[in-house]
Amino acid sequence: MKSTARIVTAMTCMLIYAGVLGACGKNESPAAPPAQVPDVTIMTFNVQNLFDNIDDADKDDKAYLPIEAKLDDAHIAQCNEIPVDSWRKECLELDWSDGAIDYKLEVLGETIRQVSNGRGPDIIAFQEVENAAILDRLRMEQLPDSEYLPAILIEGQDLRGIDVAFLSRLPLAVPAILHPLRFPEHPEREKDTRGVLEARFELPDGAMLTGLSVHFPAPFHPTEMRVAAYQHLNTLRAALPDDHFVFAAGDFNTTSSENAAENMLERFVNPHWWPAHQLGCDACKGTHYYSRDDAWSFLDMILWSPRNDGASSWTVDPASVRIANQYPAQVTETGTPARFRLAESTGVSDHWPMVMSISK
């Protein structure tokens, strides 16, 4: 019996070295393996005029009203002053009814749900959102199972009232900040621009991730205005704490032709950031298509910046970088982004969203 006991004890101690038992001769449960930190998925999405249908006296939102609100002489007179034919027609004839908003929210929700098995990305940087209330309708009505926290949006200076914003499952570490974009040489154009929205999120392991949602001046503005916007963004990045991971996401409005002529990314992006579409997405043509020039552009980008203190843990997964355009309503018959057209009940947005994941 003693010999048998010695054998049992010896076998027990061998199991300790194998990590099966907790202490020699004590039958304890094995230690649980360390929990794996989940990846974090980020999307940027220009949603093409996500408006409510309430007239806001401080915004030029008169195109996005129900048709019954467009029949008075004052409204018609204001619309007739618009020089662009398509914009004037929209102002006069677009019926932005409750049903129209419901349809717009539905197709946006379908687009977002194509990511992460129907749950949507962990963080979405939005452009062209009128206010937090309409973004919260998207969150609550179309994405109720995605567990997004309330919309992050600070009203900016854009005359039409299209703002940058975030939806996120990750909690904010501190209140968000909007950094206005200034053009001392073109003060008259500041009403047609958006600031940079800064939001600091807490990653699953407790590290800090700062997101910067951007919507740079449109291509019809001078190149120098987009140069100023890049410089503004890079100044904001440089001022962040060294232990923050940082991404900038949004509509940078830098066309492929402007980039070729002015070397914009090489001058203002690559020295400071890792553009996601250069890390992965080799087969991607771009996120926006100009039929007039038959040209694709990465107007929409996600830029990644690691910590400045040299510590490395969270990095971009190159295989995760992609254009989210698998929802059929997003794509025209010729394979380009399908602009939202209410009259025909077609399309989603004239921009395709971009997605990337970071992992530890």
Q: Summarize the confidence of residues 11-35 as an average pLDDT.
A: 46
For residues 74-80, give the mean pLDDT.
92
Q: Report d(CA 80, CA 89) in Å as an integer.
A: 9
Residue 241, domain member (yes or no): yes
Q: Within a domain: residue 162?
A: yes
**Is 2 in the same domain as 140?**
no
* Confidence check: pLDDT of 28 > 60: no
Cα torsion at 290, 293, 297, 299 (round to 10°)? -50
User: Is the CB of residue 91 less than 8 Å from the CB of residue 60?
Assistant: no
Could you tell me the sign of the dihedral formed by the alpha carbons of 148, 150, 156, 161, in that order?
positive
Task: Tell me whether residue 272 is in a domain.
Answer: yes
Interatomic CA distance for residues 46 and 20, integer angstroms? 53
Q: CA 54, CA 66: separation in Å to the nearest integer?
A: 9
pLDDT value at residue 5: 40
Asked if residue 101 is part of any domain, the answer here is no
Long-range contacts of 264-273 (CB under 8 A, 24+ apart): 264/223, 264/226, 264/227, 264/230, 268/227, 268/230, 268/231, 268/234, 269/230, 269/301, 269/303, 272/234, 272/237, 272/303, 272/305, 273/237, 273/248, 273/303, 273/304, 273/305
Same domain, 141 and 9: no
**Residue 83 maps to a domain:** no
Q: Where are the beta strands (DSSP E) in 51-158?
A: 123-129, 152-153
> Do 295 and 313 share a domain, yes or no?
yes
Residues in the chain: 360
Q: How many domains does the chain have?
A: 2
Task: Say yes or no: 1 and 44 in one domain.
Answer: no
Q: Would you say 165 and 179 are in contact if contact means Cβ atoms under 8 Å apart?
A: no
Q: What is the CATH number of the domain that holds 137?
A: 3.60.10.10
Does residue 72 fall inside a structural domain?
no
Q: Are residues 19 and 126 both part of a single domain?
A: no
pLDDT at 312 over 80: no
Q: Given a cut of 60, is residue 305 above it in pLDDT?
A: yes
Domain that holds residue 2: 1-33
| Residue 105 located in a structural domain | no
For 136-175, the pLDDT digits (tens) are 999 999 999 999 999 999 999 888 989 999 999 999 999 9
Query: Residue 84: inside a domain, yes or no?
Result: no
The owner of tokens 């979405």 is 124
Query: Tokens 């409204």 label which residue?
Result: 75
- Pair 18, 128 in one domain: no
Flag the least confident range among 84-93, 227-236, 351-360. 84-93
Q: What percentage of the chain has pLDDT greater than the value 70? A: 90
pLDDT digits (tens, 9 = 90+) for 194-220: 999 999 999 999 999 999 999 999 999
Q: Rounded to the nearest 5 degrees, what angle is found at the Cα of 94, between the Cα atoms of 89 and 98? A: 170
Residue 8 pLDDT: 37
Q: Is residue 65's pLDDT more than 50?
A: yes
Region class of 74: left (phi > 0), else alpha (psi between -120 and 50), else beta: alpha
Q: Do 9 and 156 lie in a common domain? A: no
The verdict on 145 and 19 lying in the same domain is no
**pLDDT at residue 10 above 90?**
no
Q: What is the pLDDT of residues 221-250, one digit of tens each?
A: 999 999 999 999 999 999 999 999 999 999
pLDDT tens by residue, 257-275: 999 999 999 999 999 999 9
Number of Cβ atoms within 10 Å of the Cβ of 271: 9
Find out whether 287 and 321 touch, Cβ atoms under 8 Å. Answer: no
**For residue 25, which of 37, 7, 51, 39 has the smallest C-alpha distance?**
7
Same domain, 148 and 266: yes
DSSP assignment of 191-241, as one string? Answer: GG---EEEEEEE-TTS-EEEEEEEEPPPTTS-HHHHHHHHHHHHHHHHTS-
Q: Do 276 and 319 fall within a single domain?
A: yes
135 & 23 share domain: no
Q: Quick one: pLDDT at residue 30? A: 61
Q: What is the mean pLDDT of residues 356-360?
A: 96
Query: Quick one: DSSP state of residue 138?
Result: I
What distance in Å separates the CA atoms of residue 209 and residue 168, rounded to the nearest whole number? 12
Please indicate, yes or no, whether residues 242 and 335 belong to a single structural domain of this protein.
Answer: yes
Q: State yes or no: pLDDT of 3 exceeds 80.
A: no
Instruction: Please provide the distance, in angstroms rounded to a whole number, between the alpha carbons at the two ends of the chain.
Output: 53
Which residue intervals of 81-211 are DSSP H helices? 85-93, 98-113, 132-137
Burial of 95 (0-12, 13-18, 19+ CB in 10 A): middle
Residues 193, 217 contacting (CB under 8 angstroms) = yes
